[in-house]
Amino acid sequence: MSEQETHSLMILGAGVMGVGIATLGIGFGLRVTLVDVDDGKLADARRRVRQELKLAQLMGALPEDRARGELVTTVSPEDGAEATAVIEAVTELAEVKTAALARVSALVKPGTPVVTNTSSIPVDELADAVARPEDFIGTHFMNPPYLIPMVEVIRGRRTAATAEERLTAVLAALGRKSLVVADNPGFVTSRVLHPMINDAIRVVREGTAPAETVDALFEGCLGHRTGPLRTADLIGLDNLADSLRVLHQRTGDAGCEPDQLLLEKVQAGDFGRKTGRGFYEYGGISS
């Protein structure tokens, strides 16, 4: 039996990250059960997974010699209870995550890694909601997961070494490298990146430079691949605002309070690439 056949995933949440992680899993030959409370959202997710599989294949991000895995979509997490790993990828609100994690962690077998995919919320803060905190661990997949080869892994204070080992094996089966960090708000990537993006948004609001100039300076002077404002659009401005709120509330860092321009764009429904408009416009892109 191949390594891929020994792993299967249950993913909670059919949003941008849930679809991206599902695409990665299917592209590497794993069976994926994608769970959401909204049947309409699941129907749209199936379409988006097909599109993203084509894109990932065109970009050479998936193995050519491996059969694609099976995608099952359902509103019932019971349908994925036999998965060898669970990845929660619902919205970045602690109360929503804890409700989803409480239900699913009671369904899976002891020893199954139950993973929260979060950009900012400490793992140990969510651990009280799960049936077995020793099986609970965090990840921070970058968007899109099938194009970013590394995953930040967060080991909570109650996470057992076996959970870390099993998650690392799953990520290896997905062709991802992982680096383990300690459990603090924002971990490494968000704690550094998100306040920096917030500062870049502030620079735009204050009229120092437009978004295009800010990004061009970061690309040309600092070697940043996309610039902070295009990165914000890729993350999703709504997700960025939620993450910054988490950081601001849990660290007290004034630099993490979401900038007014960011909040205005979120209120207008301009979330970035997924809605077709953020700091830039994206023709033909829908959520």
Residue 219 lies in a domain: yes
Please indicate, yes or no, whether residues 61 and 44 belong to a single structural domain of this protein.
Answer: yes
Residue 249 lies in a domain: yes
Chain centre to alpha carbon of residue 153: 12
* CATH code of the domain covering residue 271: 1.10.1040.10
Residue where one domain finishes, among candidates 181, 210, 239: 181
Q: Token match 């970061």: residue?
A: 218
Residue 268 lies in a domain: yes
Please indicate, yes or no, whether residues 12 and 44 belong to a single structural domain of this protein.
Answer: yes
Residue 284 lies in a domain: no
Taking each helix axis from N to C terminus, what angle separates 228-235 and 211-222, rounded to the nearest 10 degrees?
A: 110
* CATH code of the domain covering residue 146: 3.40.50.720
pLDDT per residue of the chain (287 residues) written in tens, 0 to 9:
445 558 999 999 999 999 999 999 999 999 999 999 999 999 999 999 999 999 999 999 999 988 999 999 999 999 999 999 999 999 999 999 999 999 999 999 999 999 999 999 999 999 999 999 999 999 999 999 999 999 999 999 999 999 999 999 999 999 999 999 999 999 999 999 999 999 999 999 999 999 999 999 999 999 999 999 999 999 999 999 999 999 999 999 999 999 999 999 999 999 999 999 999 999 854 44
Residue 117 lies in a domain: yes
Nearest-angstrom CA–CA distance, 184 and 123 = 8
Domain that holds residue 126: 4-181
Nearest Cα residue to 125 out of 193, 184, 192, 180: 184
Structural domains counted in the chain: 2
Instruction: Give 105: exposed, middle or buried? Use CB within 10 Å, 0-12, 13-18, 19+.
Output: buried
pTM value? 0.91
